[in-house]
Amino acid sequence: MPDLVVAGAGMAGLAAAAEARGRGADVLLLEKGDRAGGSMLLSSGVVWRHRTFDAFREECPDGDPALQRLVFERLDADVDWLVSLGAQVTQPDTGNARTTGVRFDTRSLTDVLLAAAGEPRLGKPLREGPDGAPLVLATGGFQGDRELLRRHVTPEADHLMLRAAPWSAGDGLRIGLEAGARSSAGMDQVYGRNMPAPPARVGPADFVGLAQLYARHARVENERGESHDAATWSEIDVLQWTARQPRARAWFTVEEDALDEPVRDRTVRDLVDAAETAGAPVRRGDGTVTVETVAGVTTTLGGLRIDERARAAPGVFAAGTDAGGIATGGYSSGLAAALVFGRIAAAAALES
Ligand SMILES: Cc1cc2nc3c(=O)[nH]c(=O)nc-3n(C[C@H](O)[C@H](O)[C@H](O)COP(=O)(O)OP(=O)(O)OC[C@H]3O[C@@H](n4cnc5c(N)ncnc54)[C@H](O)[C@@H]3O)c2cc1C
């Protein structure tokens, strides 16, 4: 029997397995998909935290402060650990004055973590709870399951776009709850981006580049003409609002003179043009341009309730998106939480 079973070879599971192997443990790493890396591999790779703990609390007021404190205090050292393993930093900052962190090349991040974690068994999902060895659940949340999204998040679940790897369908949540864990706060909350609406064709390679991240420069309306004012820099409020509107749709209308506003290293115009090229319905006229968008869900924010040692139930630990209650009420880096709690979970599981 292995010393530890880890379910999921994405950010949290690879960090957990690498940590455990670094401590000399024999690890069984199971991966449901046909490749390692999960949604991490598709991500922008920005591992970040808020600049102050107060800012973290202010932006995610309903999250568990003790868990948030751990992410806040441990992240910088954990990023150094990734760098020490050889992960390639492509940008030494986040490009956002509110946050601090680095951007990694996600292929390199996956490869160095795999080298430290050992090869996962691909196409081998964990189906049942613990069987003697302690278990780390790191299956990446439940955004891949329409039924769970309908139950917890929105009646419009059938219309959502999945902006993530396809395999994270609530297995960790189910197995954890069966083992006696409780669910966290914020089961109805998701993170994601408004994306070009069908018939636009949006593949995994477009998840970052096609994100329509300019609601702050637009009038945002649903199909009944009801509007929503963007309230957060991450525009998570816009995504969550859109997810609950008819057909999970929102129309972004931009005045001509706002088209040159910068959005990270691009402009509103670039993003509108990219949506149109991808095939989204775009209307131009009267000095405005209107893009039809759909809510693209990246991760769920609710999950299993964990303590400061990542314990969810006897012998069962959870990390990454499977562990809820950290970003509740707002948004914080999913990669950061997965990294920090992946390592904590492995250490605690080996001591259990
Ligand atoms: C386009 C995009 C951009 C993003 N950009 C950023 C960013 O810049 N910064 C940031 O912080 N976050 C970002 N994220 C979010 C980030 O990728 C996630 O928060 C992070 O990957 C969560 O880590 P995880 O280990 O929980 O899940 P994942 O990395 O998705 O790993 C979960 C793994 O578990 C596997 N799995 C599922 N079920 C089972 C099972 N039963 N048994 C075994 N394995 C299973 C899955 O196949 C997957 O490999 C982005 C995501 C996307 C898609």
CATH number at residue 120: 3.50.50.60
Q: Are residues 285 and 313 in the same domain?
A: no
Residues 138 and 285 placed together within one structural domain of the fold = no
Check if the beta carbon of residue 25 is closer than 8 Å to that of residue 3. Answer: yes
Measured between alpha carbons, how far is 195 from 258 in angstroms, rounded to an integer?
19
| Residue having the nearest C-alpha atom to atom 31 of ligand 1 | 10
Write phi, then psi, for 319 (nearest 5 degrees). Answer: -150, 160
What span, in angstroms and rounded, lies between the C-alpha atoms of 301 and 320?
10
Same domain, yes or no, for 253 and 167? no
Domain of residue 221: give its range. 190-297
End residue of a domain, out of 297, 319, 342: 297
**Residue 352 pLDDT:** 87
Q: Tell me, what's the pLDDT at 130?
A: 78
Is 42's C-beta closer than 6 angstroms to any atom of ligand 1? yes
CA-wise closest residue to 101 among 129, 71, 130: 71
State which of 297, 315, 332 marks the end of a domain. 297
- The answer to whether residues 291 and 157 touch, using CB atoms and an 8 Å cutoff, is no
Pocket test for ligand 1, best of 30, 43, 178 (most atoms within 8 A of CB): 43
Do residues 260 and 310 both lie within one domain?
no
CA of 338 to the centre of ligand 1 (A): 8
Question: What is the position in ligand 1's atom list of the atom closest to the CA of 7?
Answer: 43
Q: Are 193 and 164 spatial neighbours (Cβ–Cβ below 8 Å)?
A: no
Taking CA atoms only, the protein residue closest to ligand 1 atom 27 is 140
Question: Residue 281 C-alpha to ligand 1 middle, in angstroms?
Answer: 30
* pLDDT at residue number 264: 87
Same domain, 101 and 169: yes
- For the chain, the average pLDDT equals 97
Residue 197 shares a structural domain with residue 290: yes
Number of domains in the chain: 2
Q: In ligand 1, which atom is closest to the CA atom of 320?
A: 26
ω before 199 within 30° of 0 (cis)?
yes
Domain match, 154 and 96 both: yes
Q: Are residues 85 and 128 in the same domain?
A: yes
**pLDDT in single tens digits along all 352 residues of the chain:** 999 999 999 999 999 999 999 999 999 999 999 999 999 999 999 999 999 999 999 999 999 999 999 999 999 999 999 999 999 999 999 989 999 999 999 999 999 999 999 999 999 999 998 788 999 999 999 999 999 999 999 999 999 999 999 999 999 999 999 999 999 999 999 999 999 999 999 999 999 999 999 999 999 999 999 999 999 999 999 999 999 999 999 999 999 999 999 998 899 999 999 999 999 999 999 899 999 999 999 999 999 999 999 999 999 999 999 999 999 999 999 999 999 999 999 999 999 8
Nearest to 16 by CA among 8, 323, 179: 8
Both tokens assigned to 346: 């492995």
